[in-house]
């Protein structure tokens, strides 16, 4: 399954419309880093790898921008553990802005 992932900066979410349902990753932008807070996949789409494809597409977009991300969401954390190729885009945990 290949999803079209969009970034809605106004509402701070990456999302995909699938069969009339919206799968979402909510975030807060912190400079050049996205703090990925929560992933939501509607009940109707669960068990079909929509969440995984949403995370993959989101992280690919973030990497393409030259930005980094903080995997605050447990689902994103688990994805990164299974896909170490995204580890390089994880923001360093430094204090400050």
Best CA proximity match to 66, nearest among 96, 88, 39: 88
- pLDDT tens digits for range 40-97: 999 999 999 999 999 999 999 999 999 999 999 999 999 999 999 999 999 986 444 4
Convert the chain into a string of H (helix), E (strand) and C (coil). CCCCCEEECCCCEEEEEECCEEEEEEEEEECCEEEEEEEECCHHHCCCCHHHHHHHHHHHHHHHCCCEEEECCHHHHHHHHHCHHHHHHECCCCCCC
pLDDT of residue 2: 78
What pLDDT is stored for residue 94 in this prediction?
47
pLDDT given for residue 97 in this prediction:
42
The whole-number pLDDT of residue 12 equals 98
- How do the domains of the chain map onto residue ranges? 6-89
Please give the model's pTM, rounded to 2 decimal places: 0.91
Q: Assess whether pLDDT exceeds 80 at residue 6.
A: yes
Residue 24 has pLDDT above 50, yes or no: yes
| Assigned CATH for 6-89 | 3.40.630.30
């Amino acid at each position: 399954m290949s999803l079209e992932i969009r970034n809605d900066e106004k509402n701070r979410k990456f999302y995909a419309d699938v069969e009339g349902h919206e799968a979402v990753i909510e975030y807060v932008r912190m400079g050049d880093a996205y703090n990925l807070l929560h992933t939501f996949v509607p009940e109707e789409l669960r068990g079909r790898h929509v969440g995984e494809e949403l995370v993959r597409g989101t992280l690919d977009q973030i990497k393409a921008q030259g930005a980094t991300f903080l995997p605050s969401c447990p689902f994103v954390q688990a994805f990164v553990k299974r896909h170490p190729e995204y580890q390089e885009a994880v923001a360093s945990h430094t204090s400050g802005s």
